[in-house]
Structure 1
């Protein structure tokens, strides 16, 4: 082989090697971990478009649905992904359930695919549970509109595909239930005391322990610390103290809710940074935080929810803390999808304080009445 042929062969091999290196790099010139963070912060609505950029981008952006490259732990998902607020609301004209997503950073609402027809027709009869780390929202059961027939069906929204699908139906048809995420699974509790658990990895429901005692009419529910809390809350005319129960997933057992928790549960609860917060239904809609060591709700300093956010309202919280310094974020979604964004600062050793910012809903949302809100990391 001539010297020139050898040189050409070496040059070709070097060129191929360079080409392989370029293919292997998500973003040429950036360290892999930096490139991953950049791609994970791309708006989830445009992932289909971004997947056409290169085969590497396609593999990375679809890895979460194939069990590959993307981080799978909750900590990695929370730290590398962006939180989006998903608000479910009823249009009084069409009487259809809608779902909109708010990007808290750009303050823009994103247009999502319509909720499948026939899902959760009767307002307030169904349960909505978000699995933030998986980027999924489940709309569970409910009562058919115009009747009293409960349904077993479960619809699931995936941020990875920006689309709706069907999940396995519940073992028992249910309406007006409590539900929440506990340990990465969906726990559903009926007013009759029966409960069941959905494993999203296995795609199936299994029975849970039956809650004994008198029925607990669902008023509000929240999941925190490996438990699902269900409470009747205080309601006029205050004829008796409210009942409450707590389901422990680790032991598959129910217990009566602590007295201080149930007697102080006077509003809608959101969990953020592992802490339970209530937006009080009375007065100025002040924020309270549950102190488990004292079994008491402590008032959070700062003003109440701004008055421009009107009833009806729903609440949601971000899974983790953000920006350092132990800051936590609470969302209060009001009529017309006006949103009060509360940033809570402070910790166990110092007084907590909340600062509010209002994001006005678009004019076309003026007639929408919110019924649920969830935060997903997408």
Structure 2
């Protein structure tokens, strides 16, 4: 297992787009009001012969500059007028990156202060392992972070925060908030049909599905609904076969898998439901899957993994054919990653964010074993720990989403 420190000193957490250079309020105001953010002016400067990088064609220079880490943008704005135009607007910068096919992963962590309960988002650049912040989520301060559900559409650089609960009243919410990396801003969307908290959520073919949870009268729900983000409208779908508060959910093979979890005496069999949007039907989950789903899940290349909160926090993978679980070879979750933790993935990597926002990056490897009757695959994992700066030491994660930008 390797361990990484972002730097030898405790660096401050940066706003998305700011560098470590301290700027006066006057300069910040001038930068916001500058006409250099106008793309038409950039074209005018180009026609006057002002190149992005002397001696290089603009297309090659742009290809280089769009790879500059976000925390260096403020410094780069001071180089020349065209650099000021390029790095002065995050929307313009990320739009150009998208046009040229640049897609770096960012880990967005929904966290809360363990003493005050105040919620906030912290963002980890998964290329340079630097932390950043984004604008404050437009939501009431006194809420229970675990009552929300967060989902994302990584390729679009968009995440959604759904539902939630007002902590001092146990009153579920039906709000939907949308964050876009390219614009670096939040948008309030049309509310869910039913206010709910502690419910299931998932994205299938760009559509956002929610199901179950707590209702306004604190009874468990069986209702479900779907949001089309392109038009912002919700409509109901078939109800689950049972009323259920959800511990975890996953999307596998185009279906939504929902479990109520395992926080009870184990003589009670956990319930699980599976929704197929093609038939608009729910069915019961296989016994082996629901009984072995003892942690937070991710799906990588069609394989269902769980970071178990039992079995020494080992990683395990589900075999659908035999309805059984196999332990992934390799060490357990590193000890630095303390509960409660949240999990997500990108490509063949699993990201586990623990208390104080230390992050374990698990690299998944697949190898094949040939037996006398069949060839089957097995998995192994290697962990890398990314220590968070001291400034994040009082934060506890509630959700983690990977976005590309």
TM range (shorter): 0.7 to 0.9
Aligned-partner Cα distance in 2 for 1:253–1:40: 46
C-alpha distance in 2, partners of 1:347/1:56? 45
Q: Report the equivalent of 2:237.
A: 208
Any idea what SS the aligned residue of 1:364 has? helix
Give the Å deviation of 1:297.
Answer: 2.0
Q: How does 1:1-378 map to 2 (within 5 A)?
A: 41-43=67-69, 53=83, 62=92, 70=98, 80-118=102-140, 121-191=143-213, 192-211=221-240, 213-318=241-346, 321=347, 328-346=348-366, 349-378=376-405
Measure, in 1, the Cα distance between the counterparts of 2:354 and 2:90.
37
Cα distance in 1, alignment partners of residues 201 and 63 from structure 2:
33
The alignment's TM-score, normalised by the length of structure 2, stands at 0.74
SS in 2 for 1:157: strand
CA distance, structure 1, for counterparts of residue 61 and residue 325 of structure 2:
43
Q: Tell me how far apart the structure 2 counterparts of residues 148 and 133 of structure 1 sit (CA, whole Å).
A: 35
Q: Is the 8 A contact 2:289 2:318 kept in 1?
A: yes
CA RMSD of aligned residues (A): 3.2
Superposed CA offset, 1:63-100 (max 9, x none)? 987xx9946xxxx96xx401111111111233211110
SS of 2:246 mapped into structure 1: coil
Q: Distance in 1 between matches of 2:296 and 2:64?
A: 35
> How far is 1:210 from its partner?
1.4
Indicate the larger mover: 351-360 or 284-293.
284-293
- 1:119 is displaced (CA, Å) by 6.5
TM-score where L is the length of structure 1: 0.79
Asked if 2 retains the 8 angstrom alpha-carbon contact of 1:40 and 1:81, the reply is: no
Distance 1:35 1:188 in 2: 45
Deviations 1:247-304 (A, max 9, x none): 1222222111122211211111122333221001114211111222332222110001
**Count of paired positions:** 342
Q: Give the Å deviation of 1:308.
A: 1.4
Higher relative CO (Cα under 8 Å, sequence separation at least 6) belongs to 2
Q: Which has the higher strand share?
A: 2
Question: Cα 1:54–1:175, aligned 2, differ >3 Å: closer, same or farther?
Answer: same
Is the 8 Å Cα contact of residues 273 and 285 (structure 2) preserved in structure 1? yes
For residues 175-228 of structure 1, the C-alpha deviation after alignment (integer angstroms, 9 at most, x for no partner) is 2211111111111112321111111111211211211x3323311111222111
Gaps of 5+ in 1: 1-18, 322-327
Query: Given that residues 47 and 61 in structure 1 are in contact (C-alpha distance below 8 angstroms), is that contact kept between their aligned partners in structure 2?
Result: no
- Kindly state the Cα deviation for residue 103 of structure 1 after the two structures are TM-superposed: 1.1
Displacement of 1:241: 1.3
Structure 2 gap ranges (5+): 1-45, 214-220, 369-375
Determine the C-alpha separation between the residues in 2 that align with 1:256 and 1:40. Answer: 48
Q: Report the CA distance between 1:111 and its aligned residue.
A: 2.1
